[in-house]
Amino acid sequence: MGLRIHFVVDPHGWCCMGLIVFVWLYNIVLIPKIVLFPHYEEGHIPGILIIIFYGISIFCLVALVRASITDPGRLPENPKIPHGEREFWELCNKCNLMRPKRSHHCSRCGHCVRRMDHHCPWINNCVGEDNHWLFLQLCFYTELLTCYALMFSFCHYYYFLPLKKHNLDLFVFRHELAIMRLAAFMGITMLVGITGLFYTQLIGIITEDQEMVPGLSPHCFSYRTSEYSHCSALGEVANNTHKQHVGMWKVF
C-alpha cells in the first residue's frame, strides 16, 4: 500500500516535534565536535564509527519525518462498506460517519483513524493502521542512536585515552563538562522513555493479534508463563497473522 502524505495543523504538536529536532541537532553537532572527531584525529577510534553515527542519525531523522507526515489511516467521508461486513462497522457519535469497529476518533486531528493506537504529540500525528510500523521504526532508530551516543559519552571520560590537544578558545571545549552532562541527561531520559514505549507497543501488538488470530495458543501470551518469551510470542504471531503485518517487521 502506498503511503499518503498527511499534515496535522497543531501548534502544540509543532512545539513537541521541534523539541525532538532540537535534541537531535544538539547531539548530532556537539558529540562529534567534542568526542568523535578529536579522538579520531588522535587515532583512538576508527573513522567507520563516525560514519555509523551519522548514518544512524540520518535514519532517525528520516523515520521521524515519515512517521510525522504519513496518513495514519484516516477514514474518508463516505467510506464504502464491503458487502457482508456491515456488522463489523459502527457509527461514530462525534463525526457521524461509519467506521470499522477497531477505529477511534482523534479529538486533536478531528477525524476517525483505522486501528488507532494513540495520538503522539512528539510526531504531531496519530499512530494508526498505516503508520504504526513507521512509529516502531522511529522508536527503534531513536533507541539505537541514544545508546550509541551514551556509549561514546561514557568512553570519552572512562575508557579512551585523554586528549592531548584541547583548543580552550572554543566555547564547546571551555564548557565541555556542562555540555556533556546535558547531553547525558537528555540521552538517559529519552532512552528510558523510548524503551518503555517500545516495549509496551510490542506487547500491545501481540495481545491485539491474539484477538484477531484465533489459532494462536493462549499460553503464548501469558505474562506469568516462563516457558514462552516475548520473542517466541512474536515469532508465533508473525507465522500466523495476516500479510499486512509482514511489512511492519521488515524494518528490523
- What does the pLDDT read at residue 240? 39
CA–CA gap between residue 18 and residue 11 (Å, rounded): 10
In a domain, 249, yes or no: no
- What does the pLDDT read at residue 165? 67
**Best CA proximity match to 213, nearest among 230, 236, 232:** 236
In a domain, 63, yes or no: yes
Q: Which stretches of the chain score pLDDT less than 50?
A: 1, 213-252
Catalytic status, residue 139: no
In a domain, 52, yes or no: yes
Q: What domain range includes position 56? A: 11-74+114-194
In a domain, 213, yes or no: no
CA–CA gap between residue 245 and residue 50 (Å, rounded): 34
In a domain, 129, yes or no: yes
Asked whether the whole model's pTM tops 0.95, one would answer no
Structurally, the chain folds into a number of domains equal to 1
- What does the pLDDT read at residue 166? 66
In a domain, 83, yes or no: no
Is 237:209 a contact under the CB 8 Å cutoff?
yes
Q: Which of 60, 106, 112, 120 is catalytic?
A: 120
- What does the pLDDT read at residue 222? 36
CA–CA gap between residue 34 and residue 150 (Å, rounded): 13
In a domain, 227, yes or no: no
- What does the pLDDT read at residue 247? 44
Is 124:16 a contact under the CB 8 Å cutoff?
yes
Is 148:56 a contact under the CB 8 Å cutoff?
yes
- What does the pLDDT read at residue 243? 40
In a domain, 221, yes or no: no
CA–CA gap between residue 252 and residue 238 (Å, rounded): 13
